[in-house]
Amino acid sequence: MLTIERPLLNQLIDHLQACYPLEGCGLLAGDAEMGWVTAVYPIENSLHSPTAYKMDPAQQIQGMLDLEARGWQLLAIYHSHPHGLEVPSATDITLATYPEALYIIVSLQERAAPVVRTFRIAGQAVIEQTMRVVQPSGENCV
What are the tens digits of pLDDT across the range 65-96? 999 999 999 999 999 999 999 999 999 999 99
Query: Looking at the domain assignment, is residue 142 inside a domain?
Result: no
Residue 59: CB atoms within 10 Å: 17
pLDDT tens, residue by residue, 15-67:
999 999 999 999 999 999 999 999 999 999 999 999 999 999 999 999 999 99
Specify if 139 maps to a domain.
no
Is 73 within 8 Å of 67 (Cβ atoms)?
yes
Which CATH number goes with the domain that contains 57? 3.40.140.10
pLDDT for the residue numbered 95? 92
Amino acid at 82: P
Q: Would you place residue 139 in the very low, low, confident or very high pLDDT band (cuts 50, 70, 90)?
A: low
Q: Which residues contact 141 (CB under 8 A, 6 or more apart)?
A: 6, 133, 134, 135
pLDDT score of 98: 93
pLDDT score of 13 = 98
Domain that holds residue 112: 2-134
Residue 99 has pLDDT above 70, yes or no: yes
Q: In this structure, is the dihedral angle defined by the CA atoms of residues 58, 60, 62 and 68, taken in order, positive or negative? A: negative
If you count them, how many residues does the chain have? 142
Count of domains observed in the chain:
1
Q: Answer whether residue 77 is part of any domain.
A: yes
Helix (H) or strand (E) holding 13: helix 6-19
Residue 66 host element (H or E): helix 57-69
Q: What is the pLDDT of residue 140?
A: 62
- For the stretch 104-122, pLDDT in tens is 999 999 999 999 999 999 9
pLDDT value of residue 100? 92
**What is the pTM (predicted TM-score) of this model?**
0.94
